[in-house]
Chains A and B, each alone.
Chain A
Amino acid sequence: MIRSLGLLLIVCSWVAAAWAATESYGYPFDDPFVATVVGTPEADRARFDVDVPTKRDSLTIFKDRKVPDFLFYEAKLRYSYALQKKAAPLVFLIAGTGGSYTGGHISAQAKAFYAAGFHVVSLSSPTVPNFIVAASKTSVTGHAVHDAEDLYHVMELIQTKLLKKTEITDYFVTGYSLGGFNAAFVSLVDEQRKVFNFRRVLLINPPVSLYNSMSLLDRMLENIPGGVDNFDAYYNGIVSSFGKVYVRAKRLDLSDDFLYQVYSALHPENEQLAALIGLTFRFSSAHMVFASDLMTDYGYVKPKNLHFTRNTDPGVYRDVVFRLGFTDYFHDYFYPYYKNLDPEIDRHQIVEAMSLTRIEDYLRNADNIYVMHNRNDLILEPGEIDFFPRVFGKRAKIYPTGGHLGNMEYKENVEYMVNVFKSAVTGREL
């Protein structure tokens, strides 16, 4: 009797699972702009009833590094980790553009993987000032190969530290947005170096071509009411709104929750959302460019013979970097900088090199690399999304909606994300 009851239950759950699979995707926002800004409402998020024992730590990456006085506090690379009480597989998480190891998305990921029994290490994006100052070899960030090598180096140092505290059975790496792009190139480095031999790699909403995505994001600021010339008025308006939002916010976070909080407070018109998305990315690019310029003394916006002390007010130079985009950075700093190191390269070549299409063959054959993406992701040019099913085949999971990262914390997405890694450990099918 009990046996047949059990059987009945199993059959029922199969039926239920099959029914659920045919049901349409339940993420609530169809509009990619709303999705990107609002993300996933609290009620639709994945829930985990665990306390993650997150520890913050920092590392000196280069012993002889000269840290600019103005950025004295960025000398060591900060990161966080959470360890299981017993031996377990470890997941490296890489944040997206302008995102730090403490951001909203990455913390949600850490919680999900920790709850599933993984050790987790959260890393800032190579585009944040802390990484640029402490861990980027050239400090001119955004280079697919160099950033991957920098990340790999950091991961090795952290591994050494953690192995003194715990046992690690396997290695995984994932990242979202630019972090996903980074993860692909990190995997490629591992192919040669073989320190981690990643069981699986998961790219979440990565760009295909960095240059295309940067250009798209820069252009979003053209949606400012009255055009880019109105940047100052618009910026001031947003800044004071941000202040109002902050008063009610629990913590200060410029990358992820920032948008959600501003949206909830203001309910801007749909067309303003694009400008808002552009603005958050502008924050990221301004911070990145300024930190990089101070590090290399390239003379991009800060005159070379001006020394910024720990007390210097950046003044007009701050205003200047807020008016410049990723594409300006690329053409007038990034490209000349790397051209100087390798006179052989040309502009077109380097644009091509900063893309997943460049490593297409590798990605096609690496059966441990998976992708999660959205058909209406805003950082992709029309048609670019087709790259993923074409190259990754069954290893690409494409959701119909979600915009850029909007559905990342949606329960169904989180479940799939965790299962990509978990299924490798348990041997069950994904």
Chain B
Amino acid sequence: MTVLIPHVALYILLTPLLLLVAGCSTAPKLQGDTIEEAFFTPEQILGGGVTEIEDEEISDPFEGFNRTMYRFNYYFDKYVFLPAVIGYMKITPDAAQDGIHNFFRNIQDITTLFNSILQLNPEKTLNTTTRLLVNTTIGLLGFIDIANDVPRKDEDFGQTLGYWGVGSGPYLVLPVLGPSSVRDGIGQGVDWYVGYDQPKQRLTNMEAWQETTLDIVRAIDLRAHVRFLYYETNSPFEYEMVRMLWTTKRKLDIKR
């Protein structure tokens, strides 16, 4: 992830350029001068003044880039991520997997903590502080989730921005990380820096290869706990479906 996240930030900056480079038009290609009539035409079925019904409140000006990235993620998932996850699951005992997952969730709590503070939410701040203190000490650096009775809810900088009224901005599919938005993409960068990279640099004294190993295991653990497979929804409209679901989910997350 050390390698990945700065790239993500870079991508966000370079998005307009990438759009040009990728040349990803979302219009169908017309052969000839005029569109032939299909048996059922949009005018006939949807009535006059045809407009798109769905997703009207979802802004997706980078759709061409996003669709390309969505496809890239599918291939990355299929040929890199999933084989790595499967291999990891094979060689790691279940108990160790759980411990490792707890360990990274404990680190994630750092992100939740600073965002709970930024959202001026005393309850979440208190809960997260308790979890962090107990799990890091008695829970042996988080490997055991001793404080699992204390309610846990991920907070991130995107949600914090949303909490303070910042709109999501256009929908954005990030390489490897998947669905996001301009706001949340920036948030992901901030969270990575404040909640992961800085603590790692300041609190530990690791060699480069150790850091890389940690980052890779973290990425694998993350993927192993997302129950989603690209293009397995049975829908030719999966891109739109995921976009709608993701956008709705983020709106609800901010409210929670």
**Chain A residues within CB distance 8 Å of chain B:** 70-71, 73-74, 78, 98-100, 102, 124, 128-130, 232, 235-236, 239-240, 242-244, 246-247, 250-255, 283, 287, 290-291, 294, 298-320, 323-324, 328, 332-333
Contact = CB atoms under 8 A, between A and B. Distances in A.
Interface string B157-188: 00000000000000000000000000000000
A251 B38 CA distance: 36
Contact of A301 (B32, B39, B245, B249): B39
B252 interface: yes
Interface in B229-256: 230-237, 240, 244-245, 247-249, 252-253
Nearest to A99: B234
B248 A243 contact: yes
B248 A246 contact: yes
Interface in B5-60: 24-32, 35-42, 45-46, 50, 52-54
Contacts of B52: 315-316, 319
A258 B40 CA distance: 29
A242 to B, nearest CB: 8
Given A240-B248, A243-B244, A287-B236, A323 B45 contact: yes
A218 B74 CA distance: 34
Closest 4 CB pairs of A and B: A243-B248, A313-B26, A307-B29, A316-B42
Interface residues of B, number: 47
Nearest to A291: B236
B68 interface: yes
B71 interface: yes
B63 interface: yes
A72 to B, nearest CB: 8
Nearest to B71: A310
Nearest to A131: B234
A313 B238 CA distance: 11
Given A243-B245, A318-B240, A305 B31 contact: yes
Contacts of B31: 305-307
B64 interface: yes
Given A252-B228, A320-B42, A305 B26 contact: no
Contact of A311 (B67, B227, B232, B247): B67
Contacts of B240: 314, 318
A239 B244 contact: yes
A148 to B, nearest CB: 21
A105 to B, nearest CB: 14
A128 B35 contact: no
A9 B240 CA distance: 61
Given A251-B227, A319-B53, 4 more contacts: A236-B54, A306-B36, A324-B45, A332-B40
24 contacts: A235-B53, A236-B54, A239-B244, A244-B248, A250-B227, A252-B245, A290-B236, A291-B236, A299-B39, A300-B38, A300-B39, A301-B40, A303-B38, A305-B32, A306-B30, A307-B28, A307-B31, A309-B28, A310-B67, A311-B67, A313-B27, A316-B46, A317-B42, A319-B45
B53 A232 contact: yes
Contacts of A70: 236
A129 B40 contact: no
Contacts of B71: 310
Nearest to A315: B52
A73 B71 CA distance: 9
A311 B68 contact: yes
A73 B37 CA distance: 28
Contacts of A243: 244-245, 247-249, 252
A298 B27 CA distance: 20
A98 B244 CA distance: 21
B235 A287 contact: yes
Interface in B123-182: none
A306 B35 contact: yes
Nearest to B253: A247
A346 to B, nearest CB: 20
Given A302-B38, A303-B37, A309-B29, A255 B234 contact: yes
